[in-house]
Structure 1
Amino acid sequence: MDVLTGLEQRAWHALADEPAAARSYYEKVLDDRIVLLLIDQQPIQERETALAALCGARWKACSLGGLSAARLSLFVGAVNYRVTATKDGAPYSARVSSVYVRRDDGWKLTFHQHVSW
């Protein structure tokens, strides 16, 4: 499941870059069917809204801890970890879970959740 942990690490690297880099990354990896649960936001199920929510903030100093992944079936895998970062200039920490589904063109993010810790 190294491929899935690698996707999460690349996601945070893109988020800490410029918004255009984050959008480019997520346009490739985000599935057409998405559930996005972010702190202090309503659940998001539309792809364009998810792209805007994921790529709209300015992230810096992102650090991932306790990164682990598990294959749930032949075509589904999950990743879980803690993130500490600076979001729009303020300290941020969350427990993150992501679920990926294997499509013909690679692993796609279909579920992503941040929980305060």
Structure 2
Amino acid sequence: MDALTDLEQRAWRSLAGEPAAAWSFYEDVLHDRVVVLLIGRKPIQQREAALVALCEAQWKGCSLSGLNATRLSLVVGAVDYQVAATKDGVPYSARVSSVYVRQDDGWKLTFHQHVSS
């Protein structure tokens, strides 16, 4: 399950970089069927809308703690953790959960949720 915690860490590094880096990362890892639940937003179930929502904010100082990955089946894994960061210049803290599905070309993010902490 190290692969999944590594994906989450790479995701946040890409979000803290240039917008093109985040877009490139999520374009590669985001599943065609996706549910994204972000604080203060309606549920997102379309891939393109999820790409925009995940990549539009400016993130800085991202710190992840308590990373925990669990294999739910041979092809499904989940990761949960706490994130502290600055989002668009405002302090941000959330509990994050992600679910990945293993496909021939690697793990694909199919569910992602932020809950206020």
> TM-score range, shorter-chain basis?
over 0.9
Please give the root-mean-square deviation of Cα atoms over the aligned residues, in Å.
0.3
Alpha-carbon distance in 1 for matches of 2:105, 2:31? 11
CA offsets 1:79-113 (integer angstroms, 9 cap, x no match): 00000000000000000000000011000000000
TM alignment of 1:61-80, pairs within 5 A: 61-80=61-80
Q: In the alignment, which residue of structure 1 is the partner of 2:21? A: 21
1:73 CA drift (Å): 0.0
Specify the SS of the correspondent of 1:79: strand
Alpha-carbon distance in 2 for matches of 1:103, 1:76? 10
1:24 CA drift (Å): 0.3
Identical-residue share of aligned pairs (%): 74
1:47 CA drift (Å): 0.3
1:30 CA drift (Å): 0.2
Any stretches of 5+ residues in structure 2 without a counterpart? none
1:38 CA drift (Å): 0.2
Q: In the alignment, which residue of structure 1 is the partner of 2:51? A: 51
Number of equivalences: 117
Confirm whether residue 94 of structure 1 aligns to residue 91 of structure 2.
no
The AA in structure 1 aligned to 2:19 is: P
Q: In the alignment, which residue of structure 2 is the partner of 1:112? A: 112
Alpha-carbon distance in 1 for matches of 2:102, 2:33? 13
Alpha-carbon distance in 2 for matches of 1:105, 1:65? 28
Specify the SS of the correspondent of 1:73: coil
CA offsets 1:18-68 (integer angstroms, 9 cap, x no match): 111000000000000000000000000000000000000000000000001
The AA in structure 2 aligned to 1:45 is: Q
